[in-house]
Structure 1
Amino acid sequence: MIDANSSTITTIITTSKAYTFMRIISLVIMLFLSLLSSNAAFAQWHQKSFDVMGTLAHVEFWLPDTAESSTAESLIAAVEHEMQRIDQTMSPYIATSELSIINRDAATKTVAISPELFDLLTDAQDIAKLTNGMFDITYASIGYQYDYRKHQKPDQAAINNALKAINYQAVMLDKSTSSVRFANTDVKIDLGGIAKGHAVKNCISILKDASIEHALISAGGDTTLLGDRIGRPWFVGIKHPRADDKTAVQLPLSNESISTSGDYERYFIEDGVRYHHIINPKTGDSARNVVSVSIIGKNPTFVDALSTAIFVMGLQQGMALINELPEYEAIIIDNQQTLHVSTGLQQD
């Protein structure tokens, strides 16, 4: 199932540390697809890449010759609109988003929220419980003090003070009123480890509802595949964590979701130490047990969150958890850049 260090790459869906590099990758993907498809077949594939949620998103799907061109255009527009809607709802950088309103008000009063956001916060708590708090959206209580572009990080005193607010149980949900309140006045939440998976899940549902049978939706490191690529699998590449122009492994997948978390996406190095955006909620510092984690499964939302949690947990603890979850598989690259796979992948 795994073709490591392959030189033939059909499709690479990944996130790089440089945003411009992501744009180049998108163009390369489209070039390969055009070379690997006949002119007649390629005319049936419709695709678009666009900026959203602080990353590059991509939609691609197949329509029969009998479909009108306006159908493809309307589906692409619907996917793009849905991702933009979720960004407007869940971005911590948009002052009017539901998430920003929660962070502003929930420490002092109960905040009524949409059923969609309530359900996502419930999912986040379920995954926090499953991972013993290694996935914790309240990491933002210290996370907002990091600025990777400016190479800024909080000092240890600030981290120690913020740790008291990092506790997923401090996010109190009331299903009867679809509301949330924080138990601690210093609590902040961020959905960066779960929102893109949720967006991809919603967008693939849009295509399913339109009777699309072969499609790919991605947002940064989160990808969901609907069906195969007309008689052959989709090939999804996992980026080499220390070489921008290489893939560590490529995977033939169909009807699966995959999410990759890596320490190369947003980071800076100071005094030889890499500070990146995947924060260990137990320490308030960047997690450094591994360098890349990819999770494969059916649920894009859970795959997204689990890739973050397993990254924080590290190789031994993280792989032990995945091997207890038969519906998920993992590929972990450790600090020595050695690739490890879960039990289910070893059987193929």
Structure 2
Amino acid sequence: MSAQTDIEPVATTFRAIGTDHTILATDPDALEPAVRLAQQHLADLDVAASRFRSDSEVSGLARAARSGPVTATVSPLLASYVQAALQTAQVTDGLVDFTVGAAVVAAGYDADIEIVRARTSGPADLPDSLAGRHSLVPGWRHVRLDGHRLSLPRGCVIDLGASAKAHAADVIAAALAAALPGRFLVNLGGDIATNGAAAQGGWRIGIEDADGSTLQTIETRTGTTAVTTSSTRHRHWLRDGIPGHHIVDPRTGEVARSPWAQVTCVAETALLANAASTASIVLGSEAPAWLTARGIPARLDSLQGDSTTTPGWPAP
């Protein structure tokens, strides 16, 4: 997604945690410190929550859970992101479940996406923690978080990919509003959070197709509005002729087989918007009714190129 405002903003794009991010600011002097703040937060998040770093807290927890349940004291940062993931699971009735890590690994997403795409055949090597597993998805209800004390069931591999970027966008946007002048838009790989009064105009956000073309431009007029897109066409790969992507249906432990190429949702926070868009990919044809019942404006683009919208989504 792309964005602008009635006041021409300044912007910087940078890469972190495996994808591109953009910070837009209405005050040119605030852009550089805003980018530094965002980069530092994402660097700290990578150390805490990356599945692809052997020295991350998440990887350490997975190793500890190989032989049985584990309870450990985690950093305040990881605890806050696990809490956000628990909230995501709760509001989606488990359609978005952060205990799918083992299933995501089994589907082939066990390294940075560039490495995964470079492979042409053979299954991913599964970690020892999956040996003798009873289920690829232990289930979020088996996770306990008490302050900074986190308890996981045996064999659990945490995957915060469905909530971490969105929550980070919210956290960074709030931190920028508190620390720096002007208005900001934080776009973390398609998870957008905005802040600041909109008296002089809102943000215009372009909904982009996988090829980078703009499908529609929408405009925000509230003080804080979040827009996120979940897609099956960005983090995808081909293995032995079988396509795969990073969104797993926790009900089956398999890659979600969805009619939607991407789903874009609007909500008060990026975390809630992303929860809805990811759940919609999992739900498939049931998604429009599910979104409508919850009052979530959304645009759902099918694999065939047509689109469906729910009430409240702006007309083209």
TM-score with structure 1 setting the length? 0.75
Per the alignment, residue 96 of structure 2 pairs with 135
1:3-30: CA deviation from partner (whole Å, max 9, x where unpaired)? xxxxxxxxx43xxxxxxxxxxxxxxx8x
Give the 3-state SS of the residue equivalent to 1:78 in structure 2: helix
1:77-111: CA deviation from partner (whole Å, max 9, x where unpaired)? 22221222222221111222222222222444311
Per the alignment, residue 304 of structure 2 pairs with 336
1:293 positional shift: 0.9
Q: In the superposition, relative to structure 1, how do residues 285 and 154 fare at CA in structure 2: closer, same or farther (>3 Å)?
A: farther
One-letter amino acid of the counterpart of residue 342, structure 1:
T
Give the 3-state SS of the residue equivalent to 1:137 in structure 2: coil
Equivalent residue for 2:265, pick from 292, 295, 305? 295
- CA distance in 2 between partners of 1:84 and 1:130 (Å): 28
Per the alignment, residue 221 of structure 1 pairs with 190
- CA distance in 2 between partners of 1:127 and 1:192 (Å): 12
Per the alignment, residue 37 of structure 2 pairs with 78
Counterpart check, 1:62 vs 2:23: no
Q: In the superposition, relative to structure 1, how do residues 234 and 211 fare at CA in structure 2: closer, same or farther (>3 Å)?
A: same
Q: In the superposition, relative to structure 1, how do residues 272 and 216 fare at CA in structure 2: closer, same or farther (>3 Å)?
A: same
One-letter amino acid of the counterpart of residue 216, structure 2:
V
Q: In the superposition, relative to structure 1, how do residues 216 and 285 fare at CA in structure 2: closer, same or farther (>3 Å)?
A: same
Counting matched residue pairs gives: 299
Q: Which stretch shows the higher mean deviation, 109-118 or 54-63?
A: 109-118
Give the 3-state SS of the residue equivalent to 1:323 in structure 2: helix
- CA distance in 1 between partners of 2:208 and 2:133 (Å): 33
One-letter amino acid of the counterpart of residue 102, structure 2:
S
1:90-134: CA deviation from partner (whole Å, max 9, x where unpaired)? 111122222222222244431111334223323323332332322
Contact 1:82 1:202 in 2 (8 A): no
- CA distance in 1 between partners of 2:217 and 2:314 (Å): 15
Counterpart check, 1:305 vs 2:275: yes
One-letter amino acid of the counterpart of residue 62, structure 1:
T
Contact 1:138 1:168 in 2 (8 A): yes
- CA distance in 1 between partners of 2:99 and 2:265 (Å): 22
Equivalent residue for 2:137, pick from 145, 157, 166? 166
Q: In the superposition, relative to structure 1, how do residues 227 and 339 fare at CA in structure 2: closer, same or farther (>3 Å)?
A: farther
1:74 positional shift: 2.7
One-letter amino acid of the counterpart of residue 115, structure 1:
P
1:180 positional shift: 1.8
Structure number, greater radius of gyration: 1
Structure 1: runs of 5+ lacking an equivalent: 1-11, 14-28
- CA distance in 2 between partners of 1:164 and 1:60 (Å): 43
Q: CA RMSD for the aligned pairs?
A: 3.1
Per the alignment, residue 237 of structure 1 pairs with 206
One-letter amino acid of the counterpart of residue 86, structure 2:
Q
- CA distance in 2 between partners of 1:91 and 1:273 (Å): 26
Equivalent residue for 2:220, pick from 253, 256, 281? 253
1:49 positional shift: 1.3
- CA distance in 1 between partners of 2:59 and 2:238 (Å): 29
Structure 2: runs of 5+ lacking an equivalent: 110-115
Per the alignment, residue 275 of structure 1 pairs with 244
Equivalent residue for 2:231, pick from 253, 262, 278? 262
TM-score with structure 2 setting the length? 0.82
One-letter amino acid of the counterpart of residue 251, structure 1:
I
Contact 1:109 1:181 in 2 (8 A): yes
1:141-175: CA deviation from partner (whole Å, max 9, x where unpaired)? 121130431145749xx99x767140324642141
Per the alignment, residue 321 of structure 1 pairs with 290
Structure 1 ranges of 4+ moved more than 6 A: none
One-letter amino acid of the counterpart of residue 58, structure 1:
T
Q: In the superposition, relative to structure 1, how do residues 50 and 110 fare at CA in structure 2: closer, same or farther (>3 Å)?
A: same
Q: In the superposition, relative to structure 1, how do residues 330 and 190 fare at CA in structure 2: closer, same or farther (>3 Å)?
A: same
One-letter amino acid of the counterpart of residue 205, structure 1:
A
Percent identity, aligned pairs only, is: 23
Equivalent residue runs for 1:85-104 within 5 Å: 85-104=44-63
Q: In the superposition, relative to structure 1, how do residues 233 and 126 fare at CA in structure 2: closer, same or farther (>3 Å)?
A: closer
One-letter amino acid of the counterpart of residue 325, structure 1:
R
- CA distance in 1 between partners of 2:204 and 2:122 (Å): 37
- CA distance in 2 between partners of 1:288 and 1:238 (Å): 23
Per the alignment, residue 175 of structure 2 pairs with 206
